[in-house]
Amino acid sequence: MKVSRSISHGAQYTALVDLLCATIGIFVIVFALQDLEPPQALQPAPYDHLVICDAGRALTYNGRNTDQATVLGDEDLGNGRLMQELAGGGRVLVALAGDCLVQDEGPSVAAQLREIEEDLSDRPATDASPLTLFEFSPLGQDDNGADAIRARFLLGDMP
Amino acid sequence: MIGLGFSKKRAVSYPDSDVGMLDVAANALAVLILATMLVLTVAAPPAPLGEVRSSDRPELFYPSPLDVEVPPQSIYWIVTERGLTLLDLDGFATGLSGGSPVARTAQGEATLIIDRRNYRDLNDHRLQINLDWTAITGSAISLATLHDAAIASDDIRQRFEQGGIVPSFVVTAGGTEAFSSIYWNLRRDQVPMRWVPIVMQTPLVLSRRVDNFETRARQWQ
C-alpha cells in the first residue's frame, strides 16, 4: 500500500523529468555539434557581367557563362538590349576608355551607362527583385587593357 | 513553476527521493543555460573586412580634446594626361572664409553659393571651381610609367591608412589610361575611393543637395 502510493506520487513528476532530460539532451547535442571556426575575411562575390567600352567607343559585353564576347552598338544602350542582359542582377564591371567619357553628338557612353545603372538600381523597398551593383573602372593598356581584363574576368581572378 | 512545485512538495512532506532526480535535472539545465549565455556573450561575431578596421578604430576618451586642426576626410586629385594634381581646397577655403563668395588661387577661381533652407536641417551649397588647366597640368605628378603609378598609389594608400583620408579622382579623358593603374592598385589594397569624369575646360562643381540624401538613399542601403 505504501509502495504503491510512493510510486503514484513519483509518477506525477515523470513527465516533467522527461521534459527536462529531453531539453538537457538537446543542449548537449547542440554543444557537441559546435565547432570552433575562426572568423574569416569576407570575400566579394565575383563579377557576373563585364561591359567594356574600348577606344573608339567599341562596346562589348561578356556574361559569366560564355567565353564569347557580344559586340554592341551605340544604339544598344538606348534600346534596352544591354539592360536586358544585365537585368538578371549581380555585379557588373564597366571598363571605360577615355573616348567613352567624351560627348560625341549625343551623350557619352559613360553617361548612358549611368542611366542604365539608375534604372536597374531603382527598385521599391518591398520588391524582391535581384540587386544589380555597378562598378565603373578606367580602361588602360597592357595589364589593365581590354583583353587582360576580359581574361581575368573569365578566370574569376578579379579583386 | 519549478519552485512552486518544490514548495508544494515540501509542504506535504513527500520523501526527498521522489524529487531528487527532478532537482538534479533542473540544476543541470540551469548550468547549461548559464553556460550558453556565457558563450554567446563572450564569443565575438566575425568582423566583416573593409567596414571598420580594428587597428584604425580610435580609442574612446573623455573629455574629448579640442582639435586645433581637423584633418580633411577626403582629398581631390585631378587626373590629366600629364599626371596627378592635388586640388588645393584649403586655399579656396581660406579665400572664402572671410565671407567673400569668390576665392582665387593659382589653381583657379572658386565661387560658393549657399541656399539656406528654413524647413530642413541642412543647407544646399554649390562650389563651382573654374580650374586653370595650364596650372593644373603644369604641376602634375607624372604617371608615365607603372613605377610612377605605384609610387602615387602607395602615397594615397598611406594617407588612407594613417590619416583616414579617402581620395576622390576627377579624371579627364586623356588621363583615363594612366589612372587605370592607380585604380586597380587601390582596389587591390582595399582603399575606398571614387572617381568621376570631367571634360577639360569645363568647371568642376562640388555640391550638396537634399537630393543627395533622398533620391540615392535606396542605392546606399
What ipTM does the predicted assembly reach?
0.73
Q: Indicate the burial class of B129 (C-beta count within 10 angstroms; 0-12, 13-18, 19 or more).
A: buried
Residue B62 within any structural domain of the chain:
no
Statement to judge: residues B126 and B37 lie in one domain: no
Mean pLDDT of B60-67: 48
- Which structural domain, as residue segments, surrounds residue A18? 2-33
Statement to judge: residues A28 and A53 lie in one domain: no
Statement to judge: residues B102 and B204 lie in one domain: yes
Interchain CB distance below 8 Å, B18 and A9: yes
CA distance B156 to B172: 19
Residue A60 within any structural domain of the chain:
yes
Residue B9 within any structural domain of the chain:
yes
Mean pLDDT of B198-212: 85
To 10 degrees, the CA torsion angle through B188, B190, B194, B195? -20
Statement to judge: residues A53 and A21 lie in one domain: no
Mean pLDDT score of chain B? 79
Q: Count of domains in chain B? A: 2
Statement to judge: residues B141 and B186 lie in one domain: yes
**CB contacts < 8 Å between A and B, how many?**
97
Statement to judge: residues B124 and B205 lie in one domain: yes
Spell out the alpha helix ranges (H) of chain A: 2-11, 14-33, 75-78, 81-86, 109-121, 146-155
Statement to judge: residues A86 and A25 lie in one domain: no
Strands (E) in chain B, as ranges, are 74-80, 83-86, 102-105, 108-115, 124-131, 166-171, 194-197, 204-208
Least Cα distance to A96 among A155, A62, A45, A140 occurs for A140
More confident of the two residues A87 and B133? B133
Statement to judge: residues B149 and B206 lie in one domain: yes
| Shortest alpha-carbon distance between residue A70 and chain B (Å) | 23
Does position B126 have pLDDT exceeding 80, yes or no? yes
Statement to judge: residues A72 and A8 lie in one domain: no
- Which structural domain, as residue segments, surrounds residue B174? 74-211
Own/partner long-range contacts of A113-122 (Cβ < 8 Å, ≥24 apart)? A113/A51, A113/A53, A113/A77, A116/A77, A116/A82, A116/A83, A116/A86, A119/A83, A120/A83, A120/A86, A120/A87, A121/B218, A121/B219, A122/B218
> Which cell goes with B73?
576626410
Residue B216 within any structural domain of the chain:
no
CB-nearest to A144 from B171, B174, B180 is B180
pTM: 0.69
Residue B58 within any structural domain of the chain:
no
More confident of the two residues B10 and A156? A156
From chain A residues 29-88, the ones with a CB under 8 A of any chain B CB are: 31, 39-42
Q: Which amino acid is at A49?
A: H
Backbone angles phi, psi at B124, to 5 degrees: -85, 145
Least Cα distance to B95 among B136, B127, B58 occurs for B127
Q: Count of domains in chain A? A: 2
Does position A70 have pLDDT exceeding 70, yes or no? yes
- What pLDDT does B184 receive? 92
More confident of the two residues A68 and B78? B78
Statement to judge: residues A68 and A123 lie in one domain: yes
Say which range, A19-28, B48-57, B153-162, B174-183, has the weakest mean pLDDT: B48-57
Best of A16, A28, A99 to disrupt the B interface by mutation (most B CBs within 10 Å)? Answer: A16
Compare all CA atoms of chain A with the CA of B81 and give the residue at the minimum distance. A98
Statement to judge: residues B22 and B88 lie in one domain: no
For residue A103, which residues of chain B lie inside 8 Å, CB to CB?
A: 199
Q: Which band of pLDDT confidence, cut at 50, 70 and 90, is reported for residue B220?
A: very low
Q: Which band of pLDDT confidence, cut at 50, 70 and 90, is reported for residue A124?
A: low
Least Cα distance to B126 among B137, B136, B114 occurs for B114
Residue B141 within any structural domain of the chain:
yes
More confident of the two residues A95 and A126? A95
Does position B103 have pLDDT exceeding 80, yes or no? yes
More confident of the two residues B38 and B83? B83
Mean pLDDT of B36-47: 72
**Non-local CB neighbours of B82 within 8 Å, separated by 6+ positions:** B137, B138, B140, B142, B175
